[in-house]
Amino acid sequence: MIRVAVSGAGGRLAGPIIDAVAMADDLQLTALYNPNRPGEEFAGLEVSTNPGDVSADVLVETAHPDVVFENLAAWRDSGMAAVVGTSGFTPERLDQLSSMWGSQRPCLVVPNFSIGAVLMMRFGREAASQFDAVEIIERHHATKPDAPSGTSLASAMGIHEAGGQSAEGSTELIAGARGADVQGVRVHSLRLPGVIAQQEVALSNPGEVLSISHLSTSYESFAAGALVAIRGVDGLEPGVHLGLDAVLQ
């Protein structure tokens, strides 16, 4: 039985993860944490506002990017393995996390828990070296706290490692028109009310375009991948790992 705690209880991502953990026969939900939700209950557990009260084998972190490092320092000191669903991990923030986390326990940063999104990222990496140019278009809800999304950042980093890049040559008449440059891969972030998560990886050669797209229609799409991460993180080497691919069979 794996003892699981969830940080960020009450948030959009935390909700389906809490429900899925509570229903799993091989997992035990032992603690919930959110200093902004004192006294609230989810899945029969009261939310704690004190990190010292959180005890588990695996901690799932879903809190806001502004507080994620503070939270992860507490979970590191408590000796828990961590699964991080918080967005916004640029290459620089991943380096910062690796330096901070140390090598006592594994920490798995998962830009997207959706199995379909993980496969989209994998297929984009595999295709990148076969095409002259690639760009990423991501759409998320208007209240998402960061841009580009963690999924698009991880996608761009993977495409870069595989040898993919965006075409250059156009002059931006207005700064930002070509999108953000993430290691040579252009990322365009759309923020629209009513959207949950959608991403397209567009690749092209002369005479052809390949589009690899994924759409999440419900936050429930993230639950299955979160369970995979929870069950697999303790089998990883100590230190920081990126992506659900690290534990997805």
- Which residue among the candidates 64, 141, 144, 214 is catalytic per the annotation? 144
Q: Which conformational region is residue 190 in: left (phi greater than 0), alpha (psi within -120 to 50 degrees), or beta?
A: beta
Extract the runs of DSSP E, i.e. beta strands, from the chain. Answer: 2-7, 27-33, 41-42, 45-48, 58-61, 81-84, 106-109, 133-140, 180-182, 185-191, 197-205, 208-216, 239-242
Number of other CB atoms surrounding residue 61 within 10 Å: 24
For residues 43 and 50, the answer to whether their CB atoms sit within 8 Å is: no
Active-site residue, 64 included: no
Helix/strand/coil (H, E, C) string of 71-104?
HHHHHHHHCCEEEECCCCCCHHHHHHHHHHHCCC
pLDDT tens for the 249 residues of the chain, in order: 999 999 999 999 999 999 999 999 999 999 999 999 998 999 999 999 999 999 999 999 999 999 999 999 999 999 999 999 998 898 899 999 999 999 999 999 999 999 999 999 999 999 999 999 999 999 999 999 889 999 999 999 999 999 999 999 889 999 999 999 999 999 999 999 999 999 999 999 999 999 999 999 998 999 999 999 999 999 999 999 999 999 987
Cα three-residue angle 219-220-226, rounded to 5 degrees: 100
- Identity of residue 237: E
CATH numbers and ranges of domains, the chain: 2-113+219-246 (3.40.50.720), 115-216 (3.30.360.10)
Q: Is 144 a catalytic residue?
A: yes
Q: State pTM to two decimals.
A: 0.85
Q: Of residues 140, 160, 214, 241, which has the active-site annotation? A: 140
Q: Which of 186, 156, 154 is nearest to 170 (CA)?
A: 186
